[in-house]
Amino acid sequence: MFKMLKTGRVDYLFLYFSKREVLVSSIPGYDVVPVEGMKLVLYGTLHFIVSIKHKDYQKIALAMERGIKILKQQGAIKKAMIDSGFINPQVVRWKAINPQH
């Protein structure tokens, strides 16, 4: 993908935001800079699947639900999303090129 960008085969590329203050993502041989003021928002949810064939599937599913609830209350899920670059506080006011309908 980065080679295609560098050679001009593509003009844009969707990529997570850098966690650095400058927002430049550096991949060996490439520095990728976001288009300032524009972002792509990923709408959706994540799901965990537990097979009903597992003898303890109900216990596992309940434990996961409780654990996720605790992680949300502690802010750990949002922190992980920020730490991974999926959410970047620096671009909160940037315009989504795919507004949710």
Same domain, 49 and 64: yes
What does the pLDDT read at residue 78?
92
Q: pLDDT tier at 3 (50, 70, 90 boundaries)?
A: confident
pLDDT digits (tens, 9 = 90+) for 14-26: 888 877 888 888 8
- pTM of the predicted protein model: 0.66
Same domain, 16 and 47: no
Same domain, 35 and 3: yes
Residues of the domain holding 81:
43-85
Strands (E), 1-101: 25-27, 30-32, 38-39, 95-96
pLDDT digits (tens, 9 = 90+) for 42-100: 888 888 899 999 999 999 999 999 999 999 999 999 999 888 878 889 999 999 999 88
Counted domains in the chain: 2
